[in-house]
Amino acid sequence: MEISEAVEQFLRDCENKQLTPSTLLTYRQRFRVWLQLLATVCKDAKGNHVVVIDLERVTVDYLRQCVQHMLKFGSGSKLGRAAVTDKLSANSVRSYILVCKSFFNWCYQEELIDANPVERLKSPKVPSKVTATFSDEQIHKMLSVCDPNTETGFRDYVILLLLLDTGVRLSELCHIHLENVHPEYVKIEHGKGRKEREVGISPEIYKLLWKYINKYRHPINSDEKAFFIGRGVALQDGGVQQLLDRVKKDAGFEDIRFSAHVFRHTFSKRYKDNGGDTLNLSRELGHSSVRITEIYLQNFGSTEARKDHTKYSPVSGLQLGKYAKQKRPKKRTKQD
């Protein structure tokens, strides 16, 4: 059996399990890359090029060669000739490997293969980085570039504050319906993995959201989307990203990451800084377990740790200033 045929069977099974359309789309995109790599970059022990199309011909070594290619050259169509700058991050490659493992584990369970090639396939180590969040100054700056006297400007202003206040995902924001907006919370019906949850909102944000809906939206039905781009067209993921790109440019944020996920990071950090409980935060974020939230919060640790550095540093009590004021001894001359 060819790999592509098995992939279609796997995706059909995923549809029957009612995986979300976005998950299925991601799977299909990842498989397209894997099929392309297996057919173009693999070499046998003698260095001869091998076109891996059949399912039974896939080995862990061929998969490792594909992973190596992703890390060095990326997953673009110009395989083998892509610039080094096109290489995928370790985190992105891990996502490709997860899809690959799900597929071959399924193939093994379905008895389509005699040996499972992903049993010894390891993911690359992901470097730990300090998670980016917005400062108070940056928050005030981004809000100041929105004109609250216009429909678009006021909508953008409300969206930025709603992202900060709730930490919802970009796709969740776009799927908020009017009937799910309540004085104390917003009901998220299209969460990750089709999981519904209630996310609290501040009274100030509810008032702004209510004003936007009643002043500019004039809804006919309660099942309409909350945010529109005008003329009855609901705001989509791409529209929100364009909004964020525009705010980033107008605010002069050239060197900082400005995405919906940074708003999510900022919400999480401020929630914890203000004494919020990790379990409740996990539920608000829509994580499947508290452990995921704990991992999520780990990358904020070094930022918090350095705040007390001066207070506890062994250098702080040395009074180095007195050494700087001491006169240096005169250099000896030949006469001395």
Residue 210 domain-assigned (yes or no): yes
The total number of structural domains in the chain stands at 2
More confident residue, 75 or 27: 27
Other Cβ atoms within 10 Å of 55 Cβ, number: 19
Which tens digit of pLDDT belongs to each residue from 73-85? Answer: 887 644 444 433 4
Specify whether 145 is located in the same domain as 20: no
Looking at residue 78, its pLDDT comes to 46
pLDDT at 200 over 50: yes
Specify whether 140 is located in the same domain as 283: yes
Contacts of residue 55, Cβ cutoff 8 Å, sequence gap at least 6: 1, 2, 3, 6, 107, 112, 113
What SS3 state is found at 70?
helix
CA distance 28 to 106: 15
Looking at residue 62, its pLDDT comes to 97
Residue 118 domain-assigned (yes or no): no
Domain boundary among 57, 91, 109: 109
Residue 242 domain-assigned (yes or no): yes
Specify whether 239 is located in the same domain as 294: yes
pLDDT at 121 over 70: yes
Percent of the chain that is helix, strand, coil (3-state, to 5)? 55, 5, 40
User: How does residue 327 score in pLDDT terms, banded at 50, 70 and 90?
Assistant: low
What SS3 state is found at 223?
coil
Specify whether 298 is located in the same domain as 250: yes
Specify whether 62 is located in the same domain as 168: no
pLDDT at 179 over 70: yes
Q: What is the mean pLDDT of residues 136-161?
A: 93
Lowest mean pLDDT among 124-138, 174-188, 221-235: 221-235
Specify whether 176 is located in the same domain as 222: yes
User: How does residue 33 score in pLDDT terms, banded at 50, 70 and 90?
Assistant: very high
Domain boundary among 109, 144, 168: 109
More confident residue, 95 or 302: 95
Domain boundary among 93, 109, 125: 109
Residue 284 domain-assigned (yes or no): yes
Residue 121 domain-assigned (yes or no): no
Question: For residue 213, what is the DSSP state?
Answer: I
Other Cβ atoms within 10 Å of 257 Cβ, number: 13
Residue 332 domain-assigned (yes or no): no
pLDDT at 52 over 80: yes
**DSSP state letters, 262-331:** HHHHHHHHHHHHTT--HHHHHHHHT-SSHHHHHHHHHTTHHHHHGGGHHHH-TTTTS-THHHHHSPPPPP
Specify whether 230 is located in the same domain as 282: yes
Q: What is the mean pLDDT of residues 122-133?
A: 82
Specify whether 92 is located in the same domain as 156: no
What mean pLDDT value characterizes the chain?
85
Residue 219 domain-assigned (yes or no): yes
Specify whether 13 is located in the same domain as 100: yes
Q: What percent of the chain has pLDDT over 90?
A: 49
Looking at residue 217, its pLDDT comes to 80
Looking at residue 71, its pLDDT comes to 92
Which tens digit of pLDDT belongs to each residue from 257-312? Answer: 899 999 999 998 888 888 888 888 888 888 888 888 887 777 766 566 566 655 65
What SS3 state is found at 230?
strand
Specify whether 283 is located in the same domain as 172: yes
Residue 290 domain-assigned (yes or no): yes
Q: What is the mean pLDDT of residues 208-232?
A: 81
pLDDT at 329 over 70: no
Specify whether 168 is located in the same domain as 68: no
What SS3 state is found at 238?
helix
CATH number of the CATH domain containing 240 = 1.10.443.10
Looking at residue 314, its pLDDT comes to 64
Specify whether 173 is located in the same domain as 299: yes
Structural domain that includes position 295: 136-304
User: How does residue 102 score in pLDDT terms, banded at 50, 70 and 90?
Assistant: very high
